[in-house]
């Protein structure tokens, strides 16, 4: 994600109209780089992060270039329990905020059937709308309309997904968080979808990827999974 800082260089009255200001950047090793700035110049800071990638899909869906909380495509990013808005250190039923510990039930709300762009959407909460968690249908389109190739990018295993127009995204095999552990990292990738599973109220749909599989699947809602956001 690009954050922009605009610097308007204010000159004293005694300075000439076309005077210049120098900016010196010193890195952690003490190396310096000097830039000459014209009056009214603009400085842009690129911190890496997510960008919308148009894969040429029929729906017009744009997929994020990296996971929520990641700076680069191969980064794990944050792990979310389904319907929670931030990551944490423990992923268990006892720590799941959308579980009624007293009655042993999952409270029902209509918005929980599909959390995209709702108060339960971790992508929308972290990135702001129009970013959101993908729907099951958007994941299905990604599976069916794109070509998939398992490879290693910057030392990280995962799938390079190429859209009909030739643009690409990379989905890392970041594994999942269960309790305080990370499972299957490097061999399997799991990504939340926005909808509850149709077979139980304690599971939600996911995209699961490995060398042997790339398909829509299910996962316990309290597990910690990455979110690959869409627009």
- Per DSSP, 224 falls in state B
In a domain, residue 230? The reply is no
Domain match, 9 and 108 both: no
Q: What is the DSSP string of 63-88?
A: EESS-TT-SSTTS----B-TT-SS--
Q: Which long-range contacts (CB under 8 A, 24 or more apart) does 136-139 make?
A: 136/193, 136/194, 136/195, 136/205, 136/216, 137/59, 138/59, 138/61, 138/230, 139/191, 139/193, 139/205, 139/207, 139/216
Domains identified in the chain, total number: 2
> Do both 41 and 141 map to the same domain?
no
Q: Are residues 34 and 112 in the same domain?
A: no
Q: 24 and 79: one domain?
A: no
The string of pLDDT tens digits covering residues 65-83 is 999 999 999 999 999 999 9
167 and 213: one domain? yes
Q: Answer yes or no: is 94 within a domain.
A: yes
Which of 6-10, 137-141, 144-148, 199-203 is predicted least confidently?
Answer: 6-10
Tens-digit pLDDT profile for residues 93-105: 999 999 999 999 9
Are 166 and 132 part of one and the same domain?
A: yes
Are residue 73 and residue 135 in the same domain, yes or no? yes
Residue 229 lies in a domain: no
228 belongs to a structural domain = no
Q: Is residue 21 part of a domain?
A: yes
> Are residues 20 and 72 both part of a single domain?
no
Residue 58 lies in a domain: yes
Q: Are residues 170 and 100 in the same domain?
A: yes
- Structural domain harbouring 214: 52-220
Q: Are residues 57 and 8 in the same domain?
A: no
Are residues 9 and 78 both part of a single domain? no
Please indicate, yes or no, if residue 177 is contained in any of the structural domains.
yes
103-116: per-residue pLDDT in tens? 999 887 788 899 99
The reply to whether 11 and 80 lie within a common domain is no
Mean pLDDT of 127-156: 98
Give the confidence band of 45 by pLDDT, cuts at 50, 70, 90: very low
Residue 92 included in any domain: yes
**CA 123 – CA 194 distance, rounded (Å):** 10
How many other CB atoms are there within 10 angstroms of residue 30's CB atom? 6
Across the range 212-226, mean pLDDT stands at 98
Whole-model pTM?
0.80
**For residue 38, what pLDDT is reported?**
64
| Phi, psi angle pair for 56, to nearest 5° | 80, 30
């Amino acid at each position: 994600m690009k954050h922009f800082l605009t610097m308007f260089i204010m000159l004293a009255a005694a300075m000439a109209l076309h005077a210049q200001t120098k900016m010196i950047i010193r890195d952690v090793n003490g190396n310096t780089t000097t830039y000459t700035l014209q009056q009214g110049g603009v400085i842009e800071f690129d911190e890496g992060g997510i960008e919308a990638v148009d894969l040429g899909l029929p729906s017009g869906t744009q997929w994020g270039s990296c996971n929520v909380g990641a700076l680069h495509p191969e980064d794990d990013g944050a792990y979310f329990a389904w319907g929670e808005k931030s990551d944490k250190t423990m992923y268990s039923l006892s720590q799941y905020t959308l579980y009624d510990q007293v009655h042993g039930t999952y409270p029902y709300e209509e918005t929980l059937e599909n959390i995209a762009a709702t108060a339960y959407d971790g992508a929308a909460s972290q990135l702001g709308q129009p970013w959101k968690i993908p729907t099951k249908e958007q994941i299905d389109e990604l599976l069916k309309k794109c070509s998939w190739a398992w490879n290693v990018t910057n030392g990280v295993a995962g799938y390079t997904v190429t859209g009909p127009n030739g643009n690409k995204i990379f989905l890392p095999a970041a594994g999942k968080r269960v309790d305080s552990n990370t499972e299957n990292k490097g061999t399997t990738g799991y990504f939340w979808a926005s909808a509850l599973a149709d077979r139980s109220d304690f599971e939600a749909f996911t995209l699961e990827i490995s060398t042997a599989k790339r398909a829509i699947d299910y996962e316990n809602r309290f597990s910690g999974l990455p979110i690959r956001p869409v627009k």
